Every structure is written in C-alpha cells, then in structure tokens.
Amino acid sequence: MSIIASTGILNHVDGSSEFESHSTKVVCSVTGPIEPKARQELPTQLALEIIVRPAKGVPNTREKLIEDKLRGVLTPLIARYLYPRRLCQITFQVMEAGEPELEFSQRELSCCINAAVLALVDSGIGLLAMASSVPLAIIKGQLVVDPNAQQLQESQSVHTLALEITESGKNVQNILLLDSTGAFTQNELFQILSQGEERCLTLVQELRKVLGDRINSEIIRTKT
Amino acid sequence: MAKDIEFSTSENKFILDALRQNLRLDGRSFDQFRDVDIKFGKEYGDVTVTMGKTKIHCRISCQIAQPYEDRPFEGLFLISTETSPMAGPQFENGNSTGEDEVLCVRIIEKAVRRSGALDVEGLCIVAGSKCWAIRADVHFLDCDGGLLDASCIAVMTALLHFKKPDITVLGDRVTVHPTDEREPVPLGILHIPICVTFSFFNPQDTEENIKGDSNAEIAIIDANLKEELLRDGTLTVTLNKNREVVQVSKAGGLPMDALSLMENCYKAYTITEKLTDQILACVKEDDSKRNQYAGLLSSENARDAT
Amino acid sequence: MSSIISIAKRKGAFQQSIDAGFESGSEDEDVNMSDSIDNGPTHTQESNSTEGHIVTPGELVTDDPVWMRGHGTYFLDNMTYSSVAGTVSRVNRLLSVVPLRSRYTPETGDHVVGRIAEVGNKRWRVDIGGKQHAVLMLGSVNLPGGILRRKSESDELQMRSFLKEGDLLNAEVQSLFQDGSASLHTRSLKYGKLRNGQFCQVPCSLIVRSKNHTHNLPGNVTVVLGVNGYIWLRKTSKMDMARDAPSGISAPGPSNGAPIGAKTLRSSDSVSITRLEEESSWQIYSDENDPTISVSLRQTISRYANVIKALAFCEIDITHERIVSAYEASMVYPSVGSLIDREVMETIGQDVLTAEKMRGTPS
Amino acid sequence: MPLSIAEKSYLYDSLSSNAGTRPDGRLPHQFRPLEVYTDFLPSSNGSSRIIASDSSECIVSVKANVVDHQVQQDLFQVEVDIAGQRDDSSEVETLTSLLNRVLESRGSIDASKLKLTRKYSYKLFIDVLVISSSSHPVSLISFTIFSALNSTYLPKIISSFDDLEVEELPTFHDADMVKLDVSPPLVFILAVVGENVFMDAAANESEVADNGLIITWSGDKIVAPIRTVALNNSDVKGFNPLVLQRGIQMVQQYAGDVVRAFANL
Amino acid sequence: MSRFEIYSPEGLRVDGRRWNELRRFDCSINTHSHAADGSSYLEQGNNKIITLVKGPKEPSLRSQMDPTKALLKVSVNITKFSKTERSKTSHKNERRVLEIQTALTRTFNKNVMLHIYPRTLIDIEIHVLQQDGGLVGTLINGITLALIDAGIAMFDYISGVSVGLYDTTPLLEVNSLEENVMSSVTLGVVGKTEKLSLLLVEDKIPLDRLESVLAIGIAGAHRVRELMDSELRKRAEKRVANSTN
C-alpha cells in the first residue's frame, strides 16, 4: 500500500506536487499569495480559490462538490491571517481517477488532500498543521483501508477521513473531514476512525519523508 | 490571457538584443525545436508530453453516443482544451475566450479534427443511431511556451496509443466487451499532423518592415514563454509526412515576406518528419511493452488449455 | 407627393447622394488580372509632393530629405510616405498630409463648443468631438464672485453646481497635452455655459478657423460656430449686442478677437453693469432660459439649424456669410419643415454657391 | 445623448407650446425623409434597407421555408439584432416580442396568403438588423419590414393544392416567382410633449418627451398593439388621456399617406 | 456538385471566370458619415459587407485605455441571413468568429499607427449581409477602406484575397461553391510589397504547390489594392473639388 509522491514538479507556479496511490494520480499546483480579483478579496484573511479538473470531460457539479470538501479541509490548515487581502489559487488536475467516476469520488478527494498538503508546503505558504487523508470502505462487514476501484464497487459503505496532525506527525489534533456514504453501523464508524487514524499517521510520515528528501537533495547542495 | 505577465524593460531589451546577435536565452539555435519527451500512463490514451519546461497531459476517452443527424455514418470527435491556473498565473480557469486560447483551440481543431486525422467513419457502429464518441481532453500542466505544438503532439500520440473496447453488433443490439475480456481495438489514424510554431521579431523599425527591403525580420522556432511574450507575430504551420500542408495560421502580426514564409514551411517539414518518427517509435515501444505482458498471459492461457 | 413623408427609392450599391450619377467604367464586371499592369493609376513620384496633391496610405510623397515630416506622414531614410488619404500640405519646410476626414484635432486658441462628459477631481472632462475628451480645470473657469475670488475647497465639492454632465459650454483651447488632448478655459465672458437656444452638429472639417466664431445673425439669433463642428444657436443677448457694437457685423475689428476686457467695456455703461452683474453672480452658471423667447424666434432658430445642416449636407464649408446667405435663400420656403428635404437642401447649397460667384467673394 | 438642462427646457417649451415648434421646424405629423433600398440580397426572398436622415439605419431580410402548418402555427418569425447590443438585452427582447405580436398569424395580417397546400405553408423568417439608431427604432424597423415584405418574391408552387393524401413535399417552379401579397401592419411611434403629439421624434425630441405612444395601423384601421413606451429615462411623465386620442387621430389621418408613399416607389 | 463543372477544360469556372480573374469589386467609402467616423460598403463578388469605424475615441471602460497607444477592437457580425440557407443560431460567440476577429485585430494592430493615438479606442464593427466565399479577405478590404475613410494613420493598404487550389490549378478568389470542394488560402498583403500580414490555410494543400498559390494570391491582392486606391482617389478628388468652391 505504497504511495508515489513528489513536489516541485511544475515551473510556473509557487508550489506543486504529484500524488499517486493505487491507480489514482493527482497533480496539484499552488499559486499565491497573489493579488485577488475584487470579488474574491477578504479584508483580513487569505482568500482561497480551489479548482478541481477531472481527467476526462469538463468540470461539473461532481468537481464542484469535491472543491467544496477540499475547501473545508484546507481552510483551517492554512495560516490565513498572515495574508490579508491576498489570494491563493489551488488547482488540482486529476490525471487518473482510479475509480468509477460516476459513482465515486473518495479516492480522488483523499489524493487531492494529500497532494494539496505537499504542494502547500512546497509553496511556502504558512500552515498551522499537517494533514493527511485516506479513503476507507466496508465490504461485507470487513473494513478495508485505501480500497481500490474494484473494492469500492463491492462495498456497502465508503468513507473519506482527513485528519489534522501536529507534533512532527505524531499527534492527531482534529478531524478535518469525515465523509461517509452507504449503510454502516455506529460500531463500524468507530472502527473507521481508529483504523483511519492509524493509516493517516503513517501516511503523514510518508509525506514528511517526501518533503524531507526534497529538502535534503536541494538545501544541502546549496549550503556547500 | 487573464493577467499579463510582464518582464522588466531591461530584461526585454536583453532578450531582443541577444536575438539580434543570433542568440537565444536557452542557448538553442533559431531553428531548434526543444527535445520532446513522451510518457504514457497506465491506461490507453493517457499521454504526457514534456518539451523543456512545458508539460501537457492528454487523455482520450470514449463512449457510445448518437451521431449527428446530418452525418449518420460518422462518429463524434471532440477536442477539449480548457485552461487552468496550473499552467501559469496568466491563465484563467475554464476561460477559453481569450485571444490566444481561441487561436490555440481553433488551430488544433483545424490541424487534427478538420484535417481528418482521425477516421470518424470508422467510429460508426449502427448508422444513424449509434457511434463512438471520442473525446480528447488536453490538460495544460505547465506552460513555458509552445502549448500549441506540444498539444498537437500530445493529442496525436494519445490517439495513436488509445484503444477502444471491442464491440459486437447484433441488429440494433450492441455489446461492449470489457478490455479484460477481449483485446481492445486501436483507432483509425489517417495521418499525423504536426504543428510547428514560428515566432517573429522585428529587429528594426516598423517603417523598415513595411517599406524597406532588407527582410531582416527574425524567425525562431518553438519559442519559450518569454520569447512568446515579446514576439511581434507568429506563424503556425501544420504538416504531415506526406508533404501536405494541413493548416497554416498567420493571424496578423508582423508582416513577413512570402518567400521567407515558404522557407519556414520547408523548415517545419524536416521537424515534422523527425517528430512523426519519434511519436511512432514511442507508441510502438509502449505497445510492445504491453504486448510482452499480454504475450506472457496468453502463453499461460495456452499452457492451461493444454 | 405626400407632404408628411418623403421616401426615396435608391438603387445599386449603398452610396451617398454625392456619388449618384457617378458610374464606374467596370461595374458589374469581374476584374481581370491581365489588365492590371497597365491600367493601374500611375503617379509620377516627383509630382506627389506638390501642394494639394492627393495621396493615399503607403504612397511615396517625396524622396527629398529637406522636408520636415509632419502629421499624416512617416519616413524611412530619405523617403517620406503618406499614412492617410488626403492632400499634401506644405507650410515652410513642414510637409504633412491632411486627411480628407478625421476627428477634430484641437489646436491652441481654438474656439470650441463642448459638452461635459464627466465631473472629476478638480476638473471636468469635456466631449469636444475629438479623439479624447478635453479637460477643463476648476482653475480655468470664472467662479461666481468675480475674478479676484480665490477658489476654495468648497468649490471642489460643488463643481456640479457650476457645470454638470450634459451641460454645454463654449471655451477656448488653452494648451495641449503631450498626447494631443486639449486643456480648455472659459476665463472670459464670451465663454461659458450655453443657454437660450439649440445645438446642432456638423463635420469639423467644414468649419474654417477664423478670428471670430460668434456671430450675430439677422433675426435676433447668435451662432457660436465651434471649430470642432459643434454649433450653438441662441437668442441674441445684450452681451452679444455689445460684442458686435463697436465694429459692426461684417467687418471684424481688432476688439472682436481679443479677450473681453476694457475695450468691450467702452461700448456702453449698461453693458458694463450687466457684465459686472454676471461675473459676480451665479447667473453665469444658471440653467434658466430667457423666458421671453417668442415662437417666431424659435422658428428662426430652427430655420438657421436647418440651413446649417443643408450646407453640411452639400459639404460646403460653413462661414458666417454663408449661413446668412443660405438663410436668405431659404426664405422662398415659408415652411421651416420643408428645409429637411434633400432636394431643397441641394437647392439651397447651390444657391449659396451661385450667389457667391455673382458677388465674386469666395471665402 | 444627455442634454443640458437649458437645452431641455428650451426644447420642451418649444414643443409643448401651442404652436408646437419642433427643433427642425417640422409639422407635428411630418416625418423626416427616408431612403429605401430593396432587393439587394439575392440570397433572400425579400430585403430592404431604410436610412433615415439622422442616419438611423435598418436592414431586413425575409427568407422563406416550407413548413407543415399543423405543426407551426406562426408563419412569421421576427428576430431583431441591434448593433452593439446583446441578443438577450431587454431592448432587443421587447422589440422582438412586440414585432412578433404585430405579425401574429391570428392578428391583423392575412396569413392565408402563405398557404401552399392543405398541409404546407411558407414560413417567413424576418431578420432585422439595426445598424444604428438615435431614437426609438420600432417605427423604422416596422417600415423596413413593411417594404421588405412588399418586395418579397416566393417560388411558384406547381404541385396540387390538395395533398392530404400525398406523401411528397410540394414541388416548385425552377424560375417563376410570385410576389408576396400581404399588407403588413405599420407601427408608428409618437412622442408626447405636454398636450402635443409628434410623429417620428428625433433624438433630441425624444430626450424631452413626457411619454411615447406605439400605435399600429393595418390596412385602413388602428389595430393592436397600442401601448405607451418611455422614450428616455430621465423625464418620463404621465399624460392627459386626450393626448392618446389626438395621437390615434393623427395616425388615422396620416398613416394612409405613408402606405401610399411606399406604394408609389 | 455533379451539375457544375468546377473548372472546365476550356478554362472556365462555375461563374464564368478564368483562373486568374477576380470577382466584381464594388466599393464605396463614407457610406455612414453620421453613424461612424469612417465607413465602407464593399461588394466583392456576392460578399456584401458594411464596415463602420468609430474613433479614435474616448474608451468607455478604463481597461480599454492604454497610455502608450490606441486599442483596436474588431467585432464581426455575421448575420443569420448571410448565407442562402438561413442559420438557426447566432454566430456571435462562435469560435470561428472569435478567431476571425482576433486575426483581423492582429493584422491591423501592426499596420495602424496606434502609438499616435494614446488613450483612445478604435472600434471597428463589420456587418456581413451576404457571404459567398473568401470572407476573411473581404473583411480585410472593408476594414482597410473604412480606416482610411476615418482618416486614421496607417503604414499602408492591406488587401485581402483568397486563392483555391483545384487539383494543380490555383483559382484566384474562390466563391462558396468552389470553397466547398477545394482547399483555399487567404492572404492579407501589405501595400505593393510581397509581405504577408495574414496567411490562413484551413485545408490540406501539397507543400510544393503552396508557393504558386501564394504568387497568384499576391498578384490578386495587388490588383485589389489598386481597385480600392482608385475608388479612394475618386472620392478624394470630388471632396477636394467641393471644398475649393
């Protein structure tokens, strides 16, 4: 259950990342803080423009919904008070959905969250915490962490969990997102939270490693 | 473009002065196309093309649809090129009414769709009622100039690479066979158009350009972003290996001598030849990689059967 | 013929009346390439630089380097080319090409009529029919309270009570900005807000620059002929009478062109009192018309407006004398409304030109 | 065109006085001269272009299609395009709906002239392009439509009228054309200033008008629609009901002259 | 198209022209003297267009104001009735029309002396009343005439013309019938030079034939320039004669 991720892959934006897990692959770019349009401007905080573009076809309500959920996750993560009357554009391009797009968006959503964390760090925009996200599914009463496309289709319920993580990726601070659909019991939900938390913690370590590797490879060279 | 990127006057002057001395900022010669890197994704018709710092992703998808009433024997083919700020802050999300965006969309349209690069008649399933609708989604990931040329390469490579599911037609009933059941079939590609864009600079006054006879205008191939922002005019020539001009677009800009435009067309042809070969080689290589795997599977099956 | 509407049927290409009867030789024929070599208009290059010669864009005007290149030209090395279609003009060493038609280009000293387009910070922006709006600075107008009055902050706040959007005024071009736009002033009693009449507009190329652009016309009407082609017709006021009093109508004396001042004051005491009154009161920015304008005067003003339009229709340069002449010629048509007919306008234009030939006084 | 207050009051006083002096001296019922071009679009069945003396200009094309009149009731369809305005602007939409109302099949126009067979009729697509206009363009458009319809020629039908049992579409003569003979209604617009009404108000007159009246004339009588319309957005006022009567009288008295003037071309 | 012979063995085209013959070219300027600063009406074959130039004038939007030069805006209104078959939909926001507008704007941007009209807007409005092939060339000519009529300074004429390629024969100025069955090239030529401001090829043409197509196109465009020039001179002489009255 490995991920492939890298940062700083694009040249004309302030931060960028690529995040791949199973067959789902997302590229994220961050531009900001920049001058906003008048209607976007917030007097005391950084405004966020979040754009999700699907692998196939034009964006529609499905992508708008993902954008909305992402906004809910990313807004509390960014130190927005640092950049009043500025704008940050966060753009996601889904390269491969890795799930049947008509029914599911869980995999894309959680990959977008992870990619966004990497790209935001890469852009140098102030963050209050790290975050990571994982999709989960319950198949025949059995909990599956990070299900693939096939597993999603066999599931009774699907869930996306995103957690705010602090203290070098050791402490789970808050739940940023819990998005569950399908039929499930309260018990199953608790199970989802505990197993999801476990996975999120390891994932955040992996994200930290990706970032660390990048810093090591670049900073050391410039120091010498 | 939404926001104009602007460089300082001195930087602009430096680039133009260098051009007057036959030099480009990235060290290329005037006629040098950037190296093109083509990568395939996991699925058929998923291609990423990188040219210098320009990166384009193209994704082909297909579904069954109803053909247009006036063209019952043809399938549908749509190329979608929507911009997003990912490629650079000058792009607005989904807004393709800017001058450059419109030209880009129209030229790709003419180069690929109008020129019949894809055999749309081969997409017909049941005349008048069912056909394949092929969709090419072009995603601009990173823009350092040459979006049009790179997009054309990406679309053509992806079309060559793509395979649609096999189908069986019984009367009006169409059965689509999942790709793991039956080997999917490639699209019919009739020719491979390649776009080559020239950027023109006027090293002198406008008066000299209009009335003089020095013809000293500078033409460079495959400009990067900075060069694009400074250029006085542009020409996009689309050719294929059959020595056919597919499309030429010089939509205004710096007036250029007709003979030098012809020269540009011939230069574009050598690039077309080279790129066509590269595209075909890449597709073939990827195909054989996949086939190796498929071959392994089929030999296993063969063993099972015995 | 119906008296309430005249409908004329026109044939062929949509050309203006002025072209009627002008048959081009090759009409309705496809154009053959082969005759292009010989039949094209040939123009010897030497003759092009002569005064009044017609040139078109891209045409070589002269290859003589002694000329200074003015408006309507561009050059490469020794060659001077035309950038507009027009006539070659030479003033001393300055060579320029005057386009046949173009928007009004202001020059310092021009007497113009303008309309307030925008009220801005300490300035008004005035539509004078040019390429850009002209600017009228708050400091360039007379304010109620006399010349010696200093402008104050309260003036900045109540600019709309002096001049507001839509208001018409006449003014002088005080200076030109770098980009060719004009700065106006109304610091003279002959300039300012316009009242008691109606506005009409003609192409600016038909107005000839002269010393005086305000004329009293027969029938108690005064015309302000803006150089920019904006024209104001009004009831002659006491001020108008005073202006013309010392020197008469047709022979403009030195006082006419000069800014109003001591010389005008000489004319009579009653006027000087009027002047003082006007200058010191809000009256100069009033929107009220003279309540005593009679119906017959209104009709006279309409008649003048129509004859000016007739002159413009015939593309005849508009001068004080020609307006009077056209007015007299129009008197054979008792109904003012009949002057809007094409044929009538053409007849009036013709009459004016004939009368001039007979008098032997071309403009 | 915004006018100054002094200009407006001068114009208003002139127009509302007993004499009703117009700025260009016209009589209250007098039109400005018009120039008409017809038949300049060979690919349309009828075309007309009218230029008013203030250079307001309107172009109308009439194109015919054969339709099943069971399915399509409205045999006239007007579409208005005003240069510089969006197709969905309120002015364009109001004008389009008004003009379609004027040409409604069950209205005053005789749509039976378009009937080809028992099944089929001609449907006329009337495209209006207003190149420029300095005052309310409805009258100009209506006049242009009038002259375009009067210069419309349609292919002559050669198949039989009774085709209820016939499968085929009607067939037409290759060269012979028949002149369309409908008498389309004319729309007049009048400006109300004080107690006076004026035909064909110029831009400056419209600017001071208290109100405007749209009155439709068909054949030899006043027909619907009759409505008021604001000619400016600064000085609109109510008016005396007697003025409406005066306006209707004026149209009744002079509309025939306009029709005759067009007929005499 | 079997009824028509596109190019007969005797060398005649569907409308009776020879391969190197232009269509009827009827133009007039100053057709809308009140409504615009410059105007033209042009019939090139069965293409009929009205062009209005308004400006240089004060821009209505601040964003249209450039302190160094004038902003040139071209809008092309292709009417629904311009073709034989009436179009059901408006052409206003079609990509093809946007492309034509951009191409025309960029063509005249380099030819009009925009820098002498800072902070102004030059608004060009074209109405296509009827079209019959080679439209973009006709639009170029209409704009050139109207700009000159407006007295706006420009470096030279730009004349537009289209050339078709029928098998191996270039046919000057295609009509829509020809345009539908063969590839065609549109050129915008600067003055009497061989410089191209605009060059559009929208269908396949053998690379080795392009040069001959361009050659005949340039010759045709030069002839169009002469026709426009003679009309302008005719007008100018009349105007000059009138003003010396």
Dihedral (CA of C293, C296, C299, C305) sign: negative
Copy the structure tokens of residue C344.
Answer: 């009538």
Chain E interface, mutation test: which of D37, D43, D79, D96, most E Cβ atoms within 10 Å? D43
Provide the pLDDT for residue C243: 75
Of E168, E176, E195, E173, whose CA–CA distance to E185 is shortest? E173
For residue C255, pLDDT beyond 60: no
Q: Residue C48: pLDDT band by 50, 70, 90 thresholds?
A: low
The residues of E whose Cβ lies within 8 A of any Cβ of B are 93, 95-96, 98-99, 102-111, 155-156, 185, 188, 190-191, 193-208, 210-211, 214-215, 218
Provide the pLDDT for residue C45: 44
Under DSSP, is residue E76 helix (H, G, I), strand (E, B) or coil?
strand
Q: Residue D26: pLDDT band by 50, 70, 90 thresholds?
A: very high
Range C54-99: architecture per CATH: Beta Barrel (2.40)
Chains in contact with B, where contact means 3 or more Cβ–Cβ distances below 8 Å, are A, C, E
For residue C50, pLDDT beyond 90: no
Q: For E216, which residue in chain B has the nearest alpha carbon?
A: B258
Round to whole Å and give the CA distance between B56 and B46.
11
pLDDT tens, position by position, D63-122: 999 998 888 888 899 999 999 898 899 999 999 999 999 988 666 777 788 888 888 999
- Tell me the nearest-neighbour CA distance from A12 into chain B, angstroms: 5
A175 in a structural domain: yes
Topology of domain C102-194 in CATH is: OB fold (Dihydrolipoamide Acetyltransferase, E2P) (2.40.50)
DSSP code string of C273-292: HHHHHHHHSGGGG--PPPTT
Q: Strand C73-76: give its sheet, edge to edge.
A: C60-62, C79-82, C73-76
pLDDT tens, position by position, A109-120: 999 999 999 999
A138 in a structural domain: yes
| Pairwise CB contact (< 8 Å): C33 & E172 | yes
Provide the pLDDT for residue C283: 77
Is any Cβ of chain B less than 8 angstroms from the Cβ of A149?
no
User: B214: which chain C residues are within 8 Å (Cβ-Cβ)?
Assistant: none
| Pairwise CB contact (< 8 Å): E110 & B235 | no
Under DSSP, is residue A26 helix (H, G, I), strand (E, B) or coil?
strand
Average pLDDT over residues E15-24: 93
Round to whole Å and give the CA distance between B154 and A36.
33
Nearest to D257 among C4, C167, C337 (CB): C4
Q: What is the distance in angstroms between the CA of the first residue and the CA of the last residue of chain D?
A: 34
Provide the pLDDT for residue E1: 43
CB A99 within 8 A of CB A149: yes
Chain B interface, mutation test: which of A56, A102, A153, most B Cβ atoms within 10 Å? A56
For residue D181, pLDDT beyond 90: no
Nearest to B87 among A12, A49, A58 (CB): A12
Q: How much is the mean pLDDT over chain B? A: 90
pLDDT tens, position by position, C76-131: 988 999 999 999 999 999 999 999 888 999 999 999 999 999 999 999 999 999 99
Is any Cβ of chain B less than 8 angstroms from the Cβ of A114?
no
Provide the pLDDT for residue C245: 58
E19 in a structural domain: no
A223 in a structural domain: no
In the DSSP assignment, the letter for residue B254 is S
Average pLDDT over residues E38-64: 93
What total of structural domains would you count in chain A?
Answer: 1
Residues 6+ apart with CB under 8 A from B285: none
User: D132: which chain E residues are within 8 Å (Cβ-Cβ)?
Assistant: 32, 34-36, 52
E173 in a structural domain: yes
Average pLDDT over residues C258-273: 42
Average pLDDT over residues C205-231: 93
Q: How much is the mean pLDDT over chain D? A: 91
Under DSSP, is residue C40 helix (H, G, I), strand (E, B) or coil?
coil
Counting residues of chain E whose pLDDT is more than 70, the rounded percentage is 97
For residue E32, pLDDT beyond 50: yes
Is any Cβ of chain C less than 8 angstroms from the Cβ of B214?
no
Round to whole Å and give the CA distance between E14 and D259.
42
CA B207 to chain CA centroid, Å, is 36
pLDDT, mean of each 10-residue run, chain B (306 residues):
69 92 94 96 94 96 93 94 90 82 92 94 92 95 94 97 93 87 92 97 91 90 93 96 96 95 96 97 92 60 46
| Pairwise CB contact (< 8 Å): E50 & D125 | no
- Residue D58's alpha-carbon distances to D81, D141, E127, E135, in angstroms, are 10, 6, 12, 22
Chain E interface, mutation test: which of C50, C132, C178, most E Cβ atoms within 10 Å? C132
Range of the domain at E187: 25-244
For residue C277, pLDDT beyond 80: no
Copy the structure tokens of residue C293.
Answer: 């304008």
Q: For C99, which residue in chain E has the nearest alpha carbon?
A: E151
Question: Mind listing the domains of chain D with CATH numbers?
Answer: 30-263 (3.30.230.70)
CA geometry: angle B178, B180, B185, nearest 5 deg: 70
User: D190: which chain C residues are within 8 Å (Cβ-Cβ)?
Assistant: none
Provide the pLDDT for residue E222: 97
Neighbours of A27 (CB within 10 A): 27
Nearest to E196 among B114, B245, B250 (CB): B250
pLDDT tens per residue across all 224 residues of chain A? 579 999 999 999 999 999 999 899 999 999 989 999 889 999 999 999 999 999 999 999 999 999 999 999 999 999 999 999 999 999 999 999 999 999 999 999 999 999 999 999 999 999 999 999 999 999 998 999 999 999 999 999 999 999 999 988 888 989 999 999 999 999 999 999 999 999 999 999 999 999 999 888 876 655 54
| Pairwise CB contact (< 8 Å): E155 & C74 | yes
| Least confidently predicted of A16-30, D52-66, E229-243 | E229-243
For residue C195, pLDDT beyond 50: yes
Is any Cβ of chain B less than 8 angstroms from the Cβ of A25?
yes
In the DSSP assignment, the letter for residue C61 is E
| Pairwise CB contact (< 8 Å): B141 & A51 | no
Residue span(s) of chain C under CATH 2.40.50.140 come to: 102-194
What ipTM was reported for this prediction? 0.90
Range of the domain at A172: 3-218
Q: Residue C248: pLDDT band by 50, 70, 90 thresholds?
A: very low
Counting residues of chain B whose pLDDT is more than 70, the rounded percentage is 94
For residue C47, pLDDT beyond 80: no
CB E239 within 8 A of CB C315: yes
Neighbours of D1 (CB within 10 A): 12
| Paired residues of C55 in beta bridges | C86
Average pLDDT over residues D240-251: 93
Nearest to E84 among D43, D54, D131 (CB): D43
For residue D252, pLDDT beyond 90: yes
The domain ranges of chain B are 9-292
Average pLDDT over residues E45-74: 93
Chain D interface, mutation test: which of E51, E129, E131, most D Cβ atoms within 10 Å? E129
CB C255 within 8 A of CB C271: no
Neighbours of B64 (CB within 10 A): 17
Burial class (CB in 10 A: 0-12, 13-18, 19+), C34: exposed
Copy the structure tokens of residue C207.
Answer: 């107005």
DSSP code string of B50-74: EETTEEEEEEEEEEEEPPPTT-TT-
| Pairwise CB contact (< 8 Å): C199 & D53 | no
For residue C343, pLDDT beyond 70: yes
In the DSSP assignment, the letter for residue C163 is S
For residue E183, pLDDT beyond 60: yes
pLDDT tens, position by position, C169-185: 999 999 999 888 999 99
- Tell me the nearest-neighbour CA distance from B200 into chain C, angstroms: 21
Provide the pLDDT for residue C39: 42
- Tell me the nearest-neighbour CA distance from A210 into chain B, angstroms: 21
E160 in a structural domain: yes
E4 in a structural domain: no
Provide the pLDDT for residue B305: 43
CA B112 to chain CA centroid, Å, is 8
Copy the structure tokens of residue B215.
Answer: 């013809």
- Tell me the nearest-neighbour CA distance from A56 into chain B, angstroms: 6
- Tell me the nearest-neighbour CA distance from E89 into chain D, angstroms: 11
For residue D224, pLDDT beyond 70: yes
User: D29: which chain C residues are within 8 Å (Cβ-Cβ)?
Assistant: 4
CB D47 within 8 A of CB D40: yes
Provide the pLDDT for residue D107: 67
What total of structural domains would you count in chain E?
Answer: 1
User: E20: which chain C residues are within 8 Å (Cβ-Cβ)?
Assistant: 32-34
Round to whole Å and give the CA distance between E159 and E44.
12
Under DSSP, is residue D247 helix (H, G, I), strand (E, B) or coil?
helix
CATH 3.40.50.720 at B9-292, yes or no: no
Name the residue with tokens 């202006």.
C243
Provide the pLDDT for residue C251: 39
Provide the pLDDT for residue C250: 41
Of A120, A74, A66, A71, whose CA–CA distance to A94 is shortest? A66
Nearest to C81 among B205, B208, B211 (CB): B211
Q: How much is the mean pLDDT over chain E? A: 93
For residue C258, pLDDT beyond 80: no
